[in-house]
Structure 1
Amino acid sequence: MVPRLVVAAPASGAGKTTIATGLMAALVRSGLDVSPHKVGPDYIDPGYHALATGRPGRNLDPWLTSEDLIVPLFLHGAADADIAVIEGVMGLYDGMRGAGDFASTAHVARLLQAPVVLVVDATGQGRSVAALVHGFASYDTRVRLAGVILNRVGSARHEEVCREALESTGIPVLGAIPRTADAATPSRHLGLIPVAERRTEAAEAISALATLIDSSCDISGLVAQAHTVGPIAGTPWNPADALAALGTGEWDARPSGGTPLGARPLSISLSNAGTLGDGHLSVGLSNAGTLGDGHLSVGLPNVGTLGDGPSSIGLPNVRTLGDGPSSSGSAGAGPRVAVAGGAAFTFGYAEQVELLAAAGAEVVTFDPVRDEDLPEGTRGVILPGGFPEMYAEELSANERLRARMTAFVANGGVVVAECAGLLYLSQELDGHPMCGIVDAKAEMTGRLTLGYRDAVAVRESVMTRAGERYRGHEFHRTVCTPPGNPVWRWVDGGDGYASGRVLASYLHLHWAGSPVLAARFVEECS
């Protein structure tokens, strides 16, 4: 059983990330091993969680991966942890448009059978806070509201008024946090500034937050609430099993959590793979052990800062190779896959790298801002999301790597790019020359494109087959022109560029919900 607690709020902007991250750091300071999780498709908050806990920040999103995978993915991420803290998204009951509270914090809390602590911004209210909390507690009795943390309390008198009012609700106040500059984290057009861009400052801020939470919250009371949970039924997800199911017909190309489309099972040839005693797939990664049930455990450390090389983007199962880029350590058993990192490419889900490694790839990282060449022996490149618009000048100035990328594609290299990666592959970004691999020009706009997408692949690409459906999301303020011949279509739009062995689009996918993507990518690289 993993003790667990959900940190939620009535609305965005109440201070969830500040308090959840500070709580994680305070618990670590007290000697606990904390497993961090984030509801929804957010990439930035998990970076702060990882810095606070020393564990990969992991996302729990019923839309991107399916309801059935929430508990397995949680148990996978929380393995051997003393406690898990799950930060919510938006308001407690805010989910998909037109689907009730599906994919909301409340939805995930119910699936995990976890108590919820509500962070309430007390600014501008006194006794009314009790009506607000009562409403959230009674709205859905399947969600257990275990306590309240009052945020941005103006004075001792203000705190007293709020506490007295909340006594009538029977819901305990587990913290009262004063207004303070120490609780602020800088933001810009897509949210908080990622850890990779301000690691030293972020570490200092998290330390200050731990002190703030420790002094203003009932840590023992919060831990006690986390321990009120019971065990949840489920088997921890692991990448080897997810890939093994592809060859048995247990999984085929489907919309995540939806109706299978009848695609034939994919046969994968994994390098250096054998079988465990119970028939599960064993991938021959160095420094890997087994769990008690015989499932594969990839016990490789997290990436740290790589000296003068690219900085860590928080990917698990990756280690350093001397002074060079980091590697999964699969001893050259399979194709080398280079994942872009550094300050400009920070958006990635931890399970993607785990699936690549389990499929036999040797995973390395590189920084397109700083590195002038791809890692030696690279057979495939993954360009994740991030903020290339903030580094357009530096990316453009690295002419040697841009030329190397063009040559890599011309020679048959496999490239998959999401959002930021699409911009990097374009002809130019805000007037700065980029790789020129995708025949489009990209520029910043004032319009935010944000939302879940039920996407259908309308033609074949390096990873998709026409007619397959995948669940993803978009999150950007740029546009590419011309729009090209879309790879993806959804109800009110579509996008994507595919040519040869290159696939680039704005669509973000969570590969744990569609493990066939990892299998196909590694197969292409092989």
Structure 2
Amino acid sequence: MPFTAHPIGYPRLIVAAPASGQGKTTVVTGLLGALRRRGTAVAPGKVGPDYIDPGYHRLAAGRPARNLDPVLVGEERVAALFRHGATGADLAIVEGVMGLFDGRIGPGGEIAFGSTAHVAQLLHAPVLLVVDATGQSHSLAALLHGFRSYRPEIRVSGVILNRVGSQRHEQVLRDAAEHAGLPVLGVIPRTDDLAVPSRHLGLVTAAEHGDEATRAVDRMADIVARSVDLDAVVRLAGSAPELPGPVWDPRDEVEPQANPVVAVAGGRAFTFAYAEHVELLEAAGAEVAVLDPLRDERLPERTAGLVLPGGFPEQHVAELSANSALCKEITALASRGAPIHAECGGLLYLAEELDGHPLCGVLKARAEMAPRLTLGYRDAVSAADSVLFAAGARVRGHEFHRTVLAPEQGLQPAWHWRGDGGGHRAEGYVEGGVHASYLHTHPAGQPGAVERFVARCA
């Protein structure tokens, strides 16, 4: 796989935690914002398939956050994608996922594939642990000792104590960290001032939160600047060894086609997209036009293909339904056989209705909110030739939704995979030029699909 070579060492660190809910996103967003205020160019990253946290990272850093997911892109691409995102920055900060060692379940004793620890290995990056200190004191020493010694090749090099209740509480925790041999790089007091609204799939996205998201990022930067030794964080990032190797370049991944106009949905309703998707579309020759289905009543001029990413259409379904003019244009585009790539929220938008609200009606299916979340990686096989994949192509994707579609597959499904119980599952729709599914894929892991899509648009 060809990449562009790059010699830079890339100062970097990974912010991890013992478990979810410890405050990683607050700390990373605050670090990015506080360092940027000092004139430091910071590059954000996120382990795993998360779309929401990177929106806050982007606001804080002023540049796109890169998702580093060995499951979706292959572990051989992780470092190259990291270098791509970090080029031109003074240092990079990558937020972990779940607990440090949590990832795909596999044989015991191995570092879980796709875990934060796995990415730390691939990037040879030091780890800064964020610990929610609520309800603990001396026990912190045992926790920190365990994370340092469990896999010593993962370099846990410092700790930030979060939600600390008092000066006395802080001193006890500092003593415990000293016993464990880990320096304390910051102490963040317990406060309700950093709360960001959440809902069924996590935090409210930065795009939906508007000006309040900017104010929330500013508050995070304020408290981190007061509570964390930023110079120590910079030194820790600088302790990472050089990271020589290739830089991912979309122009190395795809061959340019003719230059069709490809509309890509965005705005508040469709925020689940990777930055590399547009980069690959453009490298393949497409002229990308951003479309906001909440505001735009017409497709861009000369639209030859449409990308509908995931997001939260269920939160904006009344507005999407009211924009019937755009729905009719999309239906007409589909009827002409134009390529349409719809994932998750995009799939819902193409349905006849969502929770009783009429939508595009391209797919003869109805969607509604479900009582439980569907979440997890899938090893899928393409069920048919489509505008994205040849039949039989093997793809790793990720499901993340709290809606159900009836029927959940068309006469020609998009995918086959084994369900959690081992049974066969068919999912998604391939109809004409439409490829619609709940499955999220990472374009950097499937660049041939982007090239194929642009070729069909041309």
TM range (shorter): over 0.9
Partner of 1:305: none
Superposed CA offset, 1:238-281 (max 9, x none): 0011115xxxxxxxxxxxxxxxxxxxxxxxx623xxxxxxxxxx
1:335-414 aligned within 5 A: 335-414=260-339
Q: Is 1:107 matched up with 2:118?
A: yes
In 2, Cα distance between equivalents of 1:459 and 1:381:
20
Q: How many pairs are equivalent? A: 440
Q: Is 1:469 matched up with 2:394?
A: yes
Partner of 1:166: 177
1:21 aligned residue (23, 29, 48): 29
**Does the Cα contact within 8 Å between 1:18 and 1:184 map onto a contact in 2?**
no
In 2, Cα distance between equivalents of 1:353 and 1:183:
32
Superposed CA offset, 1:405-464 (max 9, x none): 111111222111000000000010000001000111000011110000111012111111
Q: Is 1:88 matched up with 2:96?
A: yes
Give how far 1:199 is off.
2.1
In 2, Cα distance between equivalents of 1:169 and 1:9:
16
Q: Is 1:131 matched up with 2:142?
A: yes
Give how far 1:491 is off.
1.3
| Matched residue SS, 2:381 | strand
1:504 aligned residue (410, 432, 436): 436
In 1, Cα distance between equivalents of 2:158 and 2:196:
25
Q: Is 1:488 matched up with 2:415?
A: yes
| Matched residue SS, 2:389 | coil
Give how far 1:97 is off.
2.1
TM-score by length of structure 2 reads 0.95
Q: Which runs of 4+ in 1 moved over 6 A?
A: none
In 1, Cα distance between equivalents of 2:392 and 2:324:
38
Structure 2, unaligned stretches of length 5 or more? 1-8, 420-424
Greater shift in the superposed pair: 57-66 or 489-498: 489-498
**Does the Cα contact within 8 Å between 1:120 and 1:149 map onto a contact in 2?**
yes
| Matched residue SS, 2:247 | coil
1:430 aligned residue (339, 355, 371): 355
| Matched residue SS, 1:108 | helix
Percent identical? 59
Partner of 1:329: none
1:6 aligned residue (8, 14, 19): 14
In 1, Cα distance between equivalents of 2:290 and 2:61:
22
Q: Is 1:443 matched up with 2:451?
A: no
Superposed CA offset, 1:107-133 (max 9, x none): 000110000000000000000011011
Give how far 1:465 is off.
1.1
1:459 aligned residue (372, 384, 403): 384
| Matched residue SS, 2:27 | helix
Give how far 1:489 is off.
1.0
| Matched residue SS, 1:181 | coil
| Matched residue SS, 1:437 | coil
Q: Is 1:524 matched up with 2:449?
A: no
Q: Is 1:231 matched up with 2:242?
A: yes
2:232 aligned residue (218, 221, 231): 221
In 2, Cα distance between equivalents of 1:439 and 1:142:
53
Structure 1, unaligned stretches of length 5 or more? 245-268, 272-333
Give how far 1:98 is off.
2.6
**Does the Cα contact within 8 Å between 1:239 and 1:355 map onto a contact in 2?**
yes
Give how far 1:225 is off.
0.5
Give how far 1:233 is off.
3.0
Superposed CA offset, 1:310-336 (max 9, x none): xxxxxxxxxxxxxxxxxxxxxxxx100
In 2, Cα distance between equivalents of 1:183 and 1:113:
31
Partner of 1:274: none
| Matched residue SS, 2:398 | strand
Give how far 1:182 is off.
2.1
Aligned residue type for 1:165: A
Partner of 1:153: 164
Greater shift in the superposed pair: 220-229 or 99-108: 99-108
In 1, Cα distance between equivalents of 2:426 and 2:42:
39
**Does the Cα contact within 8 Å between 1:94 and 1:104 map onto a contact in 2?**
yes
